[in-house]
Amino acid sequence: MRPAITHASPATPQGIGGVLRTFRPSAYPLLVRANLRHEMVAVVFFSFLLAGVETGIVTVLVKKGFAGVVPAAQLNVIVAMLGASKAIANLTSFIWVRLNHGRDKIVFTTSLQTTCAVVVVLLALVPTNRTGLYLFAAGVLLARMAWAGFITIRSTIWSVNYPRQVRATVTGKLATIQVVTLGLLGVGIGVAMDADDRAFRVLLPVGAVLGLIGIVAWRRIRVRGHSRLLEGERSDGRAPSFNPLHMASILREDRPFAAYMGCMFLLGMGNLMVAPLLAIVVVDRFDMGYGPAMLVTNTIPFLIMPIAVPLWSSLLSRMHVVRFRVIHAQVFTLANALFFTAAMLKIEWLLYVAAAIQGTAFGGGALAWTLGHLDFAPPNRSSAYMGVHVTLTGVRGVIAPFLGVSLDTALVHAGIAPQGAVLALSATLSLLGGVGFLILSRRMKTIARHEAVETTPISKAGL
């Protein structure tokens, strides 16, 4: 288990001005400033591109914009797929890990970003009919696959570019910039779509063009020790495989990581059910327009995240990710329970409260999902570990949303419960995941104590 970090940088900010100053690259160690400056610019403009395929936006856009094109039950299944598109796309991560193994990280990730931009432009051209619906859904999934590859490989770049004592803080700042931008874009898209439901045909291409500015900024990033990193990958006798079952070897070799993935599966199953169910609930049960619906599914969670990220970042910097998840899972459980209560009692204002708590949980998730595997992985295998993590996210992404929507539809048709009832299952799975993390944390503490007893006095002094 990693030691606590007591010298995080930058220093704890005081007041709003102090918080804003922590977003300046000059507030960080000299060796990370240039890359951080380029990455901050990239993240801002990437957000305009990602808005075109963001879950909270496209689920509402499709649910309302393609209503009546196909039967409601079929449309809900497509909404479920879009709600899980980010996770489903992660199933391709093992492919990206293998294709990128031993290759230039910046060149490869830039090609993935460009692919995403091209697809987003094409989404604006689909007709508003059955064929267009299928093409739109397929396009979102394809763009998400390309972005999943970028996210998987970016974790390796972060592991060498940002020292451990600032990594969580830097990641938090980048996540904050992205979610604030996406949150504001969600408001703008919702208002524009309420004014004219054809607005996405202009907004998506504009977002893709702005995304190209981010790609140019990303190209300027330099990977520290790049040659050494690539040589280490090429000389590693355990190169990633195109066979997704190859990841099982990592899980067999690293039992604590395997247990961590098991707990993540429960927590993730619960959370991945929420997005499509929420899009269906706000439209069908609450009859919301584009703007209010996107406020719940996208804007409020994203605008709350920046407030929560610094708190989660500080927490993650001081403890192992397993202990962090014990606390983090409780917040997701509360959010999912409140969504369920709001849907059952049809209390609209409670949806906004739940969305704010969900945003708080998203703040911690943005950090732990990206960095958590680094608490287990050797440096030269960080991409492989991230590949396992991302692929398993994809597996639950294939299962959870469709299971949730199918169960919810069955309950509604049987007259047993109103829409949103399955959100109770989401809260239960999140709770079980948190219990699993608690048990794993205690087991890891026991193992650490046993190892400490067996070390020499010199080793003990270094702990």
Is 234 inside a domain boundary? no
Return all residues near 451 (Cβ < 8 A) that are at least 6 apart: none
CA distances in angstroms from 359 to 111, 132, 227, 290, 362, listed in the order given: 31, 32, 39, 19, 5
Tell the residue number behind the tokens 């922590």, with chain if given.
Answer: 22
Q: State what percent of residues in the chain have pLDDT above 90.
A: 40
346: left (phi over 0), alpha (psi -120 to 50) or beta: left
Confidence band for 132, pLDDT divided at 50, 70 and 90: very high
Is 14 inside a domain boundary? no
- Hey, what amino acid is at 347? I
Distance, CA of 376 to CA of 382 (rounded, Å): 9
Distance, CA of 212 to CA of 54 (rounded, Å): 17
Q: Which of 9-23, 258-272, 364-378 has the lowest mean pLDDT?
A: 9-23
Is 36 inside a domain boundary? yes
Distance, CA of 355 to CA of 295 (rounded, Å): 9
pLDDT for residue 233 is more than 90: no
Q: What is the DSSP letter of 420?
A: T
Distance, CA of 348 to CA of 296 (rounded, Å): 10
Distance, CA of 430 to CA of 349 (rounded, Å): 23
Distance, CA of 247 to CA of 230 (rounded, Å): 20
CA distances in angstroms from 378 to 232, 234, 383, listed in the order given: 12, 15, 10
Distance, CA of 334 to CA of 313 (rounded, Å): 20
Mean pLDDT over the full length of the chain: 84
Residues 444, 322 contacting (CB under 8 angstroms): yes
Q: What is the DSSP letter of 221?
A: -
Return all residues near 193 (Cβ < 8 A) that are at least 6 apart: 61, 64, 65, 199, 200, 290, 291
- Hey, what amino acid is at 202? V
Distance, CA of 171 to CA of 255 (rounded, Å): 27
Q: Is 53 helix (H, G, I), strand (E, B) or coil?
A: coil
Domain membership of residue 307 as a residue range: 27-220+248-462
* pLDDT recorded at residue 329: 95
pLDDT for residue 138 is more than 70: yes
Residues 423, 239 contacting (CB under 8 angstroms): no
Is 22 inside a domain boundary? no
Q: Is 237 helix (H, G, I), strand (E, B) or coil?
A: coil
pLDDT for residue 456 is more than 70: no
Confidence band for 154, pLDDT divided at 50, 70 and 90: confident
- pLDDT tens-digit profile of 346-378? 999 999 999 999 999 998 988 888 778 878 887
pLDDT for residue 7 is more than 50: no
* pLDDT recorded at residue 93: 75
What total of structural domains would you count in the chain?
1
pLDDT for residue 161 is more than 90: no
Is 208 inside a domain boundary? yes
pLDDT: which is higher, 226 or 216: 216
Tell the residue number behind the tokens 């299944």, with chain if given.
Answer: 77
Distance, CA of 342 to CA of 349 (rounded, Å): 8
Is 243 inside a domain boundary? no
Sign for the CA dihedral angle at 26, 32, 37, 41 comes to negative
Q: What mean pLDDT comes out for the span 279-291?
A: 90
- Hey, what amino acid is at 428? T
* pLDDT recorded at residue 246: 67
Report the CATH number that the domain containing residue 434 is assigned in CATH: 1.20.1250.20
Q: What mean pLDDT comes out for the span 34-42?
A: 90
Is 383 inside a domain boundary? yes
- pLDDT tens-digit profile of 166-185? 877 787 788 788 888 888 89
* pLDDT recorded at residue 453: 42
* pLDDT recorded at residue 226: 84
Is 2 inside a domain boundary? no
* pLDDT recorded at residue 440: 92
